[in-house]
Chains A and B, each alone.
Chain A
Amino acid sequence: MKSASVIMIIGSALLFSLFIYPLWTIELEAPQYPDGLGMYIHLDGLQGFTEYDLQNIDGLNHYIGMQKLPSPADMWEFRTFPLVVGGMAALGVIIGFLGLFSKVSHKWFLGWLLVMTILGILGMYDFNAWLVDYGTNLDPKAIIKVVDADGNPFSYKPPLLGSRDILNFTAVSYPALGGILLTIGMLLTFIAYLIGIKTSKK
């Protein structure tokens, strides 16, 4: 149970890395942007690859009538997510320490992971909803109006994961270092649970 608890502590503590590293990356590729153009999604806001990328993405998006990229004040998520992730990380570490001193069983590890997974799915759902709104809720006075093969307004929604061609750009979306560490951390807590099962059977 000792090693399981240590792994639980490490796994949940990895969530703190999200306060340093971004969660997700969205990249826009086109020949005219040889240096790349894109942004990192942090828990508390967006950050361009360079100082001016957000401004330049907004500049491009104004042709198709997309909303401006949100500042931290524009979205409740940027205030709430740090609290949720920070709270869950702290909770996980506390559970790990309680496990270490045999105050709680390994089932608590699984419990933490289930809560975290549900929160994660909710977060992804919310993120996707934002992307949909961002990609389809367009200014009716947009300069360029594009329709798809069926005559419906074209959706500019970037993919949640993977790549998609959007007019002259290819949008690529993938987890950033923080997102990868989050995944590893959650996997570790599951391993902690499995080791917990093994050691409790002895």
Chain B
Amino acid sequence: MKILNLGIGLLATAAMMSCGDKANKESSAGGALRSSAAEKVYVAPGEQDEYYAFISGGYTGNLTVYGLPSGRMFKEIPVFSQFPTSGYGYSEETKPMLNTSHGFIPWGDSHHPDISQTEGVTDGRWVFINENNTPRIARIDLETFETVEIIEVPNSAGNHSSSFVTENTEYVVAGTRFSVPVPQEDISIKEYKGKFKGALSFIEVDKETGHMDIKFQLLMPGFNYDLSHPGRGDSHGWFFFTTYNTEEASTLLEVNASQNDKDFIAAVNWKKIEEYINNGGGKMMPSNYAHNVYDHNSHTATSTMKKEVRVIDPTEVPGAVYLLPTPKSPHGCDVSPDGKYIVGNGKLSANLTVHSFEKMQEAIKNEKFEGEAYGIPILSFEDVLAGQVEQAGLGPLHTEFDDKGNAYTTFFISSEVVKWKLGTWEVIDRKPTYYSVGHLTIAGGNSREPDGKYMFAMNKITKDRYLPTGPELEHSAQLYDISGEKMELILDFPTHGEPHYAAAIKADKVAPNSKKFYKLSENTHPFAAKSEAETKVVREGNVVHVYMTTIRSHFSPDNIEGIKVGDKVYFHITNLEQDFDVPHGFAIIGQNNSELLIMPGQTKTSVWEPKQVGVWPFYCTDFCSALHQEMQGYIRVSPKDSDIELEWSLGEDVE
């Protein structure tokens, strides 16, 4: 009965708000407005966009690269999923990238990209992104736009409150959504309460190389840790996590985890924990997790299994963690650019709750606690509350900020973005989204210096926005001009996969560093042939290594004989080109593997296990040149017991 009432309440409010929606929709359809919107997003042929947007591919496991304001997609970067287009996760070099403690995993669910920062400002060096399903954090290098590192997060499940970086990229933080037994053990699910733990992982990032290493895991009570953001400015040194399911239910969470009037935002003083560790605190727990690193000189990834992790019991570090009561299962946890306010987007609440860092510090100083949960002090709601945005909409999820003291919050149920003022908490503007918005992004929206020119909303439901494509649709996104007092919808574009979150950055922080090709002279791949003179075919028992090269428009060698059924043939292909945008591809008939797409100066390896006798062609899959159609070769496969000698050649038969 209670639930039913709530439902009716939601409907009534939605009806009230939809009146406003209709008016907006009609006015934005006006001819004059439309043409000005077109001008704002028009990037003329040959010109380039002003911003990069790195949009999470959700269940594609990848990261997509878009341009703003045009909404054009430039690249899909494979991260957690095999990608047959380039051979990522199929080539011998990249298979280790997808190794985990559970073995090789072909797929992932990527969620929240975040760009590295220096002094609180995005620096355009790396993008971090989390995998939700089998907890991992990846680092993408913005010189090559390729995934260069993946670290698995042990003791975690549903790696959702991740992967946000601190002001100087000291840490990339990963929090667990699903609490689990730590360490894992065979116990009854009914023992959830008390036995299950929520691990919040602080992964240290090397300033020079970007290499990641788990500094510590904070073993928190068995709540669900949903999202997080770092403090900045005065609140630098703190990290804030929203929690839900403080009821600690393990079944029918949609009801059972929605009972408490307030859940918490957990405020973690990581500087204090760092100090504790540097004085010998914490304990090493036996563990097993993968750390995969890709090297751009050898063009090869290596996977190392790490065997222990430092865990911290929050009750052992006084002053390290406090709980801030926050209404109704808060989802997004967003910190204002000046670090003064922490926004809890209580997704079942009509009001938005904003906590004050200053008031929190005051309450801590005065030791004004309302109680404790598993030994962690709970502050009083009234003591830490900075203000509330009253009746802003239904189902608040996420908030980002501009550079003029405004905040923008998405409302899933009422399908809109609401602009409100920090400090006065008044609503300034609201605009509908199509439909049911999740995250929104403003360039630098999670930094000290947001760039308040554009905001885009990433929706969960597409319905009729584009030409229909059957039951399955790509998710829609809408771009708004936020430079004025009122937001203006200027573009609607489809995204790829599910765009959970995106990080945007001014193009001039990234574009000048983008690599054009790999230098062949720096290639240290053990099987590289750096010139046609170095090409060869070597047999070791039934393993055959083909050292092959590509250059417009031939393979070397392109005729190979002496391969036998049952052999395991490794094609090590080096692209000898040293020019921008001249990849070559490689595919062979009947290969139970993906193609390879090899960038200039790069070496990639594909395994082929021929099963049938015959003469089998291979060819270049990337239209590389005027003579691309001639870029092919043949391999003769003989019976297992054949005594045909290995032979290889290029250009011998034409006279």
| A59 interface contact, C-beta 8 A | yes
Q: Which residues of B contact A35 (CB under 8 A)?
A: 580
| B378 interface contact, C-beta 8 A | no
Whether B626 contacts A59 by the Cβ 8 Å rule is: no
Contact with B along A32-69 (1 / 0, CB 8 A): 00010000000000000001100110010001000000
The distance in angstroms between the C-alpha atoms of A143 and B630, with both chains bound, is 11
Whether B579 contacts A52 by the Cβ 8 Å rule is: yes
Whether B627 contacts A59 by the Cβ 8 Å rule is: no
Task: Determine which of B579, B626, B627 lies in contact with A56 in the assembled complex, contact meaning CB atoms within 8 Å.
Answer: B579
Chain B residue total in the interface (Cβ 8 A): 8
| B199 interface contact, C-beta 8 A | no
Interchain nearest-CB distance for B577 vs A (Å): 8
Whether A143 contacts B578 by the Cβ 8 Å rule is: no
Chain B residues 548-573 with CB under 8 Å of chain A are 551-552
Q: Which residues of B contact A59 (CB under 8 A)?
A: 551-552, 577, 579
Q: Which residues of A contact B551 (CB under 8 A)?
A: 59
Q: Given A59-B551, A59-B552, is A52 in contact with B626 using a C-beta cutoff of 8 Å?
A: no
The distance in angstroms between the C-alpha atoms of A63 and B580, with both chains bound, is 19
| A35 to chain B: closest residue by CB | B580
> What is the predominant secondary structure among interface residues of chain A facing chain B?
loop
Interchain nearest-CB distance for B358 vs A (Å): 53
The distance in angstroms between the C-alpha atoms of A85 and B577, with both chains bound, is 37
Interchain nearest-CB distance for B502 vs A (Å): 29
| B516 to chain A: closest residue by CB | A35
Whether B627 contacts A143 by the Cβ 8 Å rule is: yes
Whether B579 contacts A63 by the Cβ 8 Å rule is: no
| B580 to chain A: closest residue by CB | A35
| B578 to chain A: closest residue by CB | A52
> What is the predominant secondary structure among interface residues of chain B facing chain A?
loop
Q: Which residues of A contact B578 (CB under 8 A)?
A: 51-52, 55-56
The distance in angstroms between the C-alpha atoms of A103 and B546, with both chains bound, is 74
Range of interface residues on A (Cβ < 8 Å)? under 10
The distance in angstroms between the C-alpha atoms of A55 and B530, with both chains bound, is 14
Chain B residues 528-559 with CB under 8 Å of chain A are 551-552
The distance in angstroms between the C-alpha atoms of A68 and B166, with both chains bound, is 54
Q: Which residues of B contact A56 (CB under 8 A)?
A: 578-579
Interchain nearest-CB distance for B313 vs A (Å): 56
Interchain nearest-CB distance for B519 vs A (Å): 8
- Chain B CB count within 10 A is highest, among A52, A56, A143, A144, for A52
Q: Which residues of A contact B626 (CB under 8 A)?
A: 63, 144
| A37 to chain B: closest residue by CB | B579
| B551 to chain A: closest residue by CB | A59
Chain B residues 618-642 with CB under 8 Å of chain A are 626-627
The distance in angstroms between the C-alpha atoms of A80 and B580, with both chains bound, is 36
Chain B residues 597-623 with CB under 8 Å of chain A are none
Interchain nearest-CB distance for B579 vs A (Å): 5
Interchain nearest-CB distance for B553 vs A (Å): 8
Q: Which residues of A contact B580 (CB under 8 A)?
A: 35
| A51 to chain B: closest residue by CB | B578
- Chain B CB count within 10 A is highest, among A35, A59, A63, for A59
Contact with A along B249-279 (1 / 0, CB 8 A): 0000000000000000000000000000000
Q: Which residues of B contact A52 (CB under 8 A)?
A: 578-579
Contact with B along A15-27 (1 / 0, CB 8 A): 0000000000000
The distance in angstroms between the C-alpha atoms of A143 and B625, with both chains bound, is 12
The distance in angstroms between the C-alpha atoms of A56 and B601, with both chains bound, is 13
| B630 to chain A: closest residue by CB | A143
| B46 to chain A: closest residue by CB | A34
Given contacts A35-B580, A56-B579, 12 further A-B pairs with CB under 8 A are A51-B578, A52-B578, A52-B579, A55-B578, A56-B578, A59-B551, A59-B552, A59-B577, A63-B626, A63-B627, A143-B627, A144-B626
Residues of B within 8 A of A (CB): 551-552, 577-580, 626-627
15 sampled A-B residue pairs with Cβ under 8 A: A35-B580, A51-B578, A52-B578, A52-B579, A55-B578, A56-B578, A56-B579, A59-B551, A59-B552, A59-B577, A59-B579, A63-B626, A63-B627, A143-B627, A144-B626
Q: Report, nearest first, the 6 A-B pairs whose CB atoms are least far apart.
A: A52-B578, A56-B579, A55-B578, A59-B552, A52-B579, A143-B627
